[in-house]
């Protein structure tokens, strides 16, 4: 199981491995007789010697049984004994070997498994063969399967790792042998394993089973593919990347290099990824390097839950570096990764893109044609923390709003803190209209153009340092050399303003920032913002307001951070009776503990759960105050129509409740979401899989 395996490749030195026997038994006959002859001198039952467990059991030679494995096992029974494969042998009938049968392979000898036949062995630990020696040849649908997990090597199925031989079938056979056992570890010793898609589906290495670990020795263990339209490693329950019905769980890909080499593919194609994780839970990509892949280096797509991408290096991707894609993503973490050069030459070529509930922490993003870190596609409660973003063509960090494709794409409660943005075009941080609750706190901005921070939705911008440094060079210890060359800092034009506040960003708070050397400090086009305690040094023009917007109001109230709640747990099945959404673990219940006027936004995600609806039905959702004279918030009501379905089992809709202005004189108003369906499903349920409420103080 992946959870019990340390993931570091070590030499196989069990007492019965061939390498151990050949290296550690001088003086016991090996040098004089050779391995095969020595094995044949062993008695049927011997006392323990340096040969370990194998000499405690009878040693049986395949050549004494006509090299017929199924006949041999049928004759000898359940064991204990050791099968010494001293000549090429064949398995022509379905054969099961129990835990008292071991196999040890002579050099250059293997077992062939006929088409449609399965040879079942207790575990990989019952196969004693050097990791690069071929032990099995499969004809057609022939299969070697284990009954319990362990560690297997693609070399046993014929992987050569020479960069020229196609090792796809060997790798996938090793994965399958362990996968049908309930999971295990596939280890890749150093070498270049060339792969290609084996059929019409655009995937080469196919991890179709739960509880799997694919582990190499670091960048020297290379999975190499030159096909532009092929996903090199796919983690999914189906080989078809368009099918995601059953969630795959507990898979780890680590310590590998994934190498493309076919150049770019036409835009808009959803293929050519380095590592693609589809509809997964509790999966990890650790210390993996991708390079020269044609689409995306590493992607978690279609509702990834609890996904960790950590310590990876993604170089020269054709579209994007690392992507968490899908509005129903939850708890996706991208940590300590390096992304360099997304080379599609358009502003869409992104370093890191996140959606759903995700975090990006401690990453280094450099020289992307588009945005460094993109927050969009229904991102909610997203954190961007402690990253360094340099020389990207479309903003260091972009929070998507109305341009992202409708209300389900709006960023909600994004926190951007402790980052460094250097020499990025189209601003260091850009916040679009129709986002909610973005907080930009404690970041450092150097030489971004035309603005360090540009906001077009209400935001809190506090405690940031914005500088223009002519001919910037990094301080000692800050620079980073990557595999394809050192970081180069482009010459930047002096920013028009450190902070730009668009008219739609009314009610923003701009406080405690330190601004150095720009043309202007803060440029604002709205009459309703808070400016407090900002320090301006060596500005050409100071602060600036467009005179066409009328009077500027300086508000003295202390800023209040947005309030957010995210529901998690088992989900809630709608009934015909309006009721509060109950998630068992964390419910969508928000307490407003401050008097004033608040802007409320909320949304729910609907999912068919084995659902059958004979006819289209109307669902109703609204915000309700449950204390202090309970009452519905009438302006928040929405009533989407859900189409008929038979045995549906997938996410169908994200429902945005209408934005509502809410004024209270109380200090403890409790708000939650109520929901119902006109007629409950005939079978299954219509489930609310997640829910959010965000309250942003207006005054």
Contacts of residue 175, Cβ cutoff 8 Å, sequence gap at least 6: 186, 205, 206, 207, 208, 209, 212, 214
Domains within the chain, CATH numbers bracketed: 1-148 (no CATH), 563-697 (2.60.120.760)
Length of the chain measured in residues: 699
How many whole angstroms separate alpha carbon 690 and alpha carbon 381? 13
Kindly report the pTM of this predicted structure: 0.73
What's residue 451's pLDDT? 92
What's residue 62's pLDDT? 94
What's residue 142's pLDDT? 95
Asked if residues 179 and 212 have their Cβ atoms less than 8 Å apart, the reply is yes
Q: Could you report the per-residue pLDDT of 5-57, keeping only the tens digit for each?
A: 333 333 333 333 444 344 333 333 334 334 455 454 444 433 333 344 454 67
- The parts of the chain modelled with pLDDT lower than 50 are 1-35, 38, 40-53, 55, 265-268, 406-408, 477, 544-559
What's residue 26's pLDDT? 37
How many whole angstroms separate alpha carbon 494 and alpha carbon 504? 25
Q: What angle do CA 519, 524, 526 make, to 5 degrees?
A: 170
Instruction: Characterize the bridge pairing of strands 151-152 and 191-194.
Output: unpaired
What's residue 649's pLDDT? 87
Instruction: Characterize the bridge pairing of strands 212-216 and 248-249.
Output: unpaired
Asked if residues 606 and 571 have their Cβ atoms less than 8 Å apart, the reply is no
What's residue 414's pLDDT? 92
* Torsion angle (degrees, nearest 10) of CA 42, 45, 47, 48: 70
How many other β-carbons are positioned within 10 Å of the β-carbon of residue 14? 11
How many whole angstroms separate alpha carbon 492 and alpha carbon 473? 12
Q: Is 355 exposed, middle or buried (0-12, 13-18, 19+ CB in 10 A)?
A: buried
Residue found by looking up tokens 């498994």 in the block: 113
Residue from 107, 169, 165 nearest 144 by CA: 169
What's residue 262's pLDDT? 56
Distance of CA 248 to the CA centre of its chain: 13
* Torsion angle (degrees, nearest 10) of CA 139, 142, 148, 151: 20
How many whole angstroms separate alpha carbon 686 and alpha carbon 322? 33
Which helix (H) or strand (E) segment holds residue 33: the answer is: helix 30-33
Residue from 187, 132, 139 nearest 165 by CA: 132
What's residue 28's pLDDT? 39
Instruction: Characterize the bridge pairing of strands 465-467 and 459-462.
Output: unpaired
How many whole angstroms separate alpha carbon 380 and alpha carbon 33? 70
Residue 404's φ and ψ, nearest 5 degrees, are: -75, -10
């Amino acid at each position: 199981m992946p959870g019990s395996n340390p993931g570091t490749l070590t030499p196989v030195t069990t007492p019965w491995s061939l390498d151990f026997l050949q290296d550690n038994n001088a003086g016991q006959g090996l040098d004089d007789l050779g391995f095969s002859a020595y094995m044949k001198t062993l008695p049927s039952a011997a006392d323990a010697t340096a040969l370990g467990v194998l000499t405690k059991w009878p040693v049986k030679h395949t050549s004494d049984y006509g090299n017929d494995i199924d006949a041999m096992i049928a004759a000898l029974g359940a064991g204990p004994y050791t099968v010494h494969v001293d000549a090429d042998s064949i398995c022509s009938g379905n054969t099961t070997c129990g835990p008292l049968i071991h196999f040890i392979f002579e050099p250059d000898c293997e077992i062939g498994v006929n088409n449609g036949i399965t040879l079942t062995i207790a575990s990989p630990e019952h196969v004693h063969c050097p990791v690069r020696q071929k032990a099995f040849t499969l004809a057609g649908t022939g299969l070697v399967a284990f009954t319990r997990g362990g560690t297997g090597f693609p070399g046993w199925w014929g992987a050569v790792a020479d960069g020229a031989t196609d090792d796809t079938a060997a790798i996938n056979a090793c994965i399958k042998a362990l996968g049908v056992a309930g999971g295990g570890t596939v280890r890749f010793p150093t070498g270049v394993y060339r792969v290609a898609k084996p059929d019409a589906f655009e995937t080469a290495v196919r991890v179709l089973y739960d509880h799997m670990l694919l582990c190499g020795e670091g960048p020297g263990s290379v999975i190499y593919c030159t096909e532009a339209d092929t996903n090199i490693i796919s983690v999914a329950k189906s080989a078809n990347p368009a099918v995601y019905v059953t969630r795959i769980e507990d898979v780890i890909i680590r310590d590998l290099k994934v190498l493309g080499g076919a150049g770019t593919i036409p835009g808009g194609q959803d293929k050519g990824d380095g590592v693609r994780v589809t509809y997964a839970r509790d999966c990890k990509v650790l210390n993996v390097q991708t390079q020269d892949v044609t689409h995306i280096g590493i992607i978690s797509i279609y509702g990834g839950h609890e996904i960790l991408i950590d310590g990876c290096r993604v170089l020269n991707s054709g579209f994007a570096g690392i992507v968490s894609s899908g509005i129903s993503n939850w708890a996706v973490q991208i940590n300590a990764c390096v992304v360099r050069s997304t080379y599609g030459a358009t502003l869409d070529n992104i370093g890191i893109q996140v959606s759903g509930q995700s975090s990006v922490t401690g990453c280094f993003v450099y020289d992307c044609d588009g945005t460094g870190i993109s927050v969009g596609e229904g991102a909610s409660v997203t954190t961007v923390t402690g990253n360094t973003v340099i020389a990207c063509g479309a903003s260091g960090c972009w929070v998507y709003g109305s341009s992202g494709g409708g209300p389900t794409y709006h960023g909600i409660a994004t926190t951007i803190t402790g980052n460094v943005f250097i020499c990025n075009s189209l601003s260091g941080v850009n916040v679009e209209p129709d986002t909610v609750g973005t907080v930009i706190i404690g970041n450092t901005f150097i030489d971004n153009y035309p603005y360090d921070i540009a906001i077009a939705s209400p935001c809190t911008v506090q405690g940031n340092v914005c500088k223009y440094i002519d001919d910037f060079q990094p301080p000692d210890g800050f620079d980073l050399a990557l595999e394809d060359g050192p970081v180069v800092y482009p010459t930047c034009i002096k920013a028009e303003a450190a902070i730009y506040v668009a008219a739609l960003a009314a009610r923003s708070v701009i406080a405690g920032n330190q601004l150095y050397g720009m043309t202007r400090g803060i440029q604002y086009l709205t009459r309703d913002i808070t400016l407090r305690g900002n320090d301006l040094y060596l500005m050409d023009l100071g602060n600036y307001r467009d005179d066409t917007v009328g009077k500027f109001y300086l508000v003295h109230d202390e800023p209040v951070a947005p309030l957010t709640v995210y529901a998690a747990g088992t989900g809630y099945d709608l009934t015909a009776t309006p009721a509060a959404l109950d998630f068992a673990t964390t419910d969508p219940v928000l307490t407003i503990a401050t008097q004033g006027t608040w802007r409320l936004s909320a949304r729910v995600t609907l999912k068919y759960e084995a659902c059958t609806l004979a006819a289209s039905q109307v669902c109703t959702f609204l915000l309700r105050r449950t204390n202090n004279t309970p009452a519905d918030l009438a302006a928040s009501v929405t009533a989407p129509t859900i189409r008929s379905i038979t045995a549906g089992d997938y996410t169908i809709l994200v429902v945005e409740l209408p934005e509502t202005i809410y004024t209270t004189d109380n200090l403890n108003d409790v708000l939650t979401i109520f929901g119902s369906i006109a007629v409950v499903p005939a079978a299954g349920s219509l489930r609310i899989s997640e829910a959010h409420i965000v309250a942003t103080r207006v005054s």
